[in-house]
Amino acid sequence: MKKKTGTGLIIAALLTSIFITIAVPDTSVFAAEPAVATETESCPLIRTFTDTSYINKHGNVYLNLTCEEIKAKGYEYGDIVKVKIGGKKYRVPFVSDFTDVDKGETALFAREADTYAVIAVAYGDFATRSGLAVKTEHEDGTFEWNFTDNVTGPVKVSIWMKKKGGYAEGYAIHSVVRTNERADYPDLSDEEFANFREVNTTGMGKGILYRTSSPVNPEIGRNSYADKAMEKAGVTVVLNLADSDTSILEFEGFADTYYSTLKYKTLDLTIDFKSEDFEKSLAEGLRFLSETPGIYAIHCKEGKDRAGYVAAILECLMGASYEEVVSDYMTTYYNYYGVTKEDFRYEPILNGNLVKSLKEAFTFKKSDKKKDLSTRNLSKCAEKYLKGIGLSSEEIKNLKANLSGTGVTDGTEITKRKIIIDTDTGADDASAIILAAKNSNVEILGVTTLVGNVDLEQGTRNALMALEMAGADIPVYNGAKTNYDGENIDAFSVFGSDGMGDADLIHPTKKAETTDAVDFIIDSVKKYPGEIEIVVLGPATNIANAIDKDPATMRKVKMIWSMGTAGLGHGNASPVAEFNVYGDAPAYKRMLDFGVPVTIIGLDSCDGAAQWTGIQFEELDKTNETGHFVAASFGKIREFYAANGSEDATMNCDSLAMTCILYPEFIKGTISTHASCITDKGETYAQVIFYKKGFTYDIVKNEFDYNVTLVTDVDKENYFANYISAIK
C-alpha cells in the first residue's frame, strides 16, 4: 500500500519562548522524508536539513517537526505564531486541519495523527505564493521544485510564539474532528460513513451523478464502504480528482475492487482551485465526462474539498438553486463532523470554503464581488466558468445532456424523475400536461385534479383528454371540489365553459381512478420518499390537504414546482395577486410555510416569454393532431386577450413552467428568498411577498430562513420552438 501524504495534512510548529530554526537545502527535488533533527547549543531546537524536507505537489512545505514536539513546548491550537521563511515573515495561526482556517489563509498545520507539521496555504500553494520555489511539471506526471532566483539554500525556517490564544475563537468556530473508525459513527449508514450520496439537485438526472470519499485509498478507512456503494448504485464511470494513473495502482487491493472494472479518469488535482494547473486538469476531466455517457461518481480522498467544489460547479451548471448547492456541500460536514445548520460552526465553514470558492470562480468583473450568490444566475456563471477553463460550447452541451440523463447511450438503464401533476385543467394546463407526457425523461405517476379554472368534474375530463391526445396511459385522480375554506372561483370567462375553448374537443374514453387525489399523493411519497416532484399548475388545495392529512410523509417530497404568484411583477387576478394563488390563498400559505423545497415560476417570468403570437398558433395548428388540439383549445383565451388590448400575444404560463421543469437549461436566473402569502381579505389578498436579502426585514433572520427559489429569467427565444419540437 502506498502511504500518501494528502491534502488534509497540516502545518505546525512552535515553541513557547524559544524559536525553532529549520534549514532547507538548495536542491531541486526534495526527498520523501525530513532528515534526522540535530541539537546545537545556539538554540534549544535547531533543525538542520541536509537533503530532506520537501515541498509536496500542492506547495505545502513540510518540516521535520511533529505535533507532539510542538505541544511539548507549550504551544496549543489557536495560538498565533510568527514564521520566518526565505527572508519573509508571516503571522499565522497554529491549527490542526485546513478546515480550521478560511480558504486561502496561511497557517502552521500539525495534526496529531500525521508525522510532520507543514506550513501551507489552506487549499492554495504556499511555495509559489511566498516566492520560495517554482514548480515544473513533466509530461510523465512527475514534478520538481526549484528555488526562485532570490532564494538561496539552505533556507531557514524560524518559528516562535506571537500571541498565546490569539486565534482561540477562530479555531473554536472552525475546528472539526473526524475519526476513521466505523464504530464511531453508529447513527450513520454505511453510505453516509463513506460520504457517498447521489447528487439529486435540480436539473440533475435521477441516478446519474454520485459523489464520495475515495473508494480505493484506505487512508481514512472508508474505501471499502465507498466501493460497495458505487457497485450498488451501478456506477460505470469515475472521475478521480486525487490520484494519478500510477499512484492509484499502488493502493493495496486495487485490482480486487469494483472500481478497477470501471472506466475511470485520474486528474491528480492540486488543492489550489484558482491555479492554472487545477483549471487545465479539471477541464480535461469534464471533457472526459462529456465524451463518456454513463452513471458517474466523482471523488477525491475525503470527497470534501475538491469533490465538493467540482460537484458544486456541476450542480450550478445544471440549474440547482443556491440552497440546494449549500445543502449538498454541507452534508459532508455532517457526515464527518456532525455539523448541522444549528451548529455555530456551520456558517463560518460554509462562508470560508464553498461561498468563497464559488465567488472566486464566478467573479468576472468588479461588480460581481458585491453580489450575493443566492441572487445570481448560477447556471450562467458555471457555464461561463467552464468556458473560461477551456471547455467549448459543444462540450458543455454534451456534459449537460449526460448529467441530465438524456445523453446516456451505453445501454445503462436510467431511473427517470418521478413527478405528479396537480392541475385545475384549463387549456394552458392541458398544453403543459401534453408537453410532460411526451417527455421520455420523466415518469408521470399520476395527474391529480381540483377546482380552479373550471369545476372539478370538467377539469378531470380535460386532463383525461389531454393525456389521450398525448398518447399516454397515465391515471387521473379527483381531488378538491372546493378550496381550503370551502369557497370557489372560476375562469370560465377566460377559458370558455369547458375550459378548453368551447371547441368540442373533450370526449375522453377513460375515467378517473376511484382513489382520492390526496391519498394518491401521500401513497406515492411513501413509496418513493425523497424522489417525488409535484408540479402545481393550479391552486394548492390538494397539496395543503395532503400536508394536513400526513405531514410526516409530505416532508419527504423532493420538490414542489409552482406555476403561481405574480413573482416580482403585477398580478392577473388583482393588481398584486395571481389567479392560482387567489383561488386558494390559505392553501398556498400552508404550502409555503410547511418547509419542503418550493420553486416558483411566477407571472413576471412569463411576461413576454410565454406569449404566443397568431403566426405561432397557426404553426402549432398545422404541426399534427396534438398541435391542432392545443391551438383550438386556446380559442377563447385568445379572444379574451384580444378584447383586453393584446391582439397578437397570448400567454401560456403553464407550458413555460413545465418547460423549465423538464428542461432546466431554460431557467436563466433564480433568487433564493423568503415568500409569504397574505390571506387577510382585502386589496392585498393572495399577494405573495418576496423578501430580498440585504434589507433589515425582521422575518428573515438569515439565509437559512429562505423557503423558496424564485425563477427570475427564462430562455424566451427558444420556448415556442422547443414546444413544437417536443410534441411532434
Q: Which positions are catalytic?
A: 424
Helix axes 378-388, 393-404, angle to 10 degrees: 130
The CA-atom distances, in angstroms, between 578 and each of 146, 566, 573, 601, 688 are 66, 5, 5, 11, 9
The CA-atom distances, in angstroms, between 125 and each of 53, 279, 281 are 17, 14, 16
Grid cell of 379 as nine digits: 447556471
Alpha carbons 269 and 58: distance in angstroms, whole number: 9
Q: How many C-alpha atoms does 369 have within 13 Å on its Cβ side?
A: 2
Angle at 224 between CA 222 and CA 225, to 5 degrees: 65
SS3 of residue 7 by DSSP: coil
The CA-atom distances, in angstroms, between 186 and each of 181, 189, 192, 218, 335 are 10, 8, 11, 20, 11
Alpha carbons 561 and 708: distance in angstroms, whole number: 10
Instruction: Identify whether the C-beta of residue 318 lies closer than 8 Å to the C-beta of residue 203.
Output: yes
Alpha carbons 54 and 214: distance in angstroms, whole number: 25
Element (H, E) at 681: none
DSSP 592-660: HHH-S-EEEE-HHHHTTTTEEPHHHHHHHHHH-HHHHHHHHHTHHHHHHHHHTT-TT-EE-HHHHHHHH
With CA atoms as reference, report the closest residue to 702 among 385, 312, 374. 374
Alpha carbons 153 and 48: distance in angstroms, whole number: 12
What torsion, rounded to 10 degrees, do the Cα atoms 230, 232, 235, 241 define? -10
Instruction: Identify whether the C-beta of residue 377 lies closer than 8 Å to the C-beta of residue 668.
Output: yes
Grid cell of 314 as nine digits: 456541476
Q: How many C-alpha atoms does 633 have within 13 Å on its Cβ side?
A: 27
SS3 of residue 128 by DSSP: helix
Instruction: Identify whether the C-beta of residue 678 lies closer than 8 Å to the C-beta of residue 569.
Output: no
Per-residue HEC secondary structure of 187-220 comes to CCCHHHHCCCEECCCCCCCCCCEEEECCCCCHHH
For residue 636, which amino acid is it? Answer: K
Grid cell of 65 as nine digits: 517537526
Residue 81 has φ and ψ, to the nearest 5°, of -120, 160
Alpha carbons 318 and 315: distance in angstroms, whole number: 5
Element (H, E) at 712: strand 708-714
Alpha carbons 202 and 220: distance in angstroms, whole number: 31
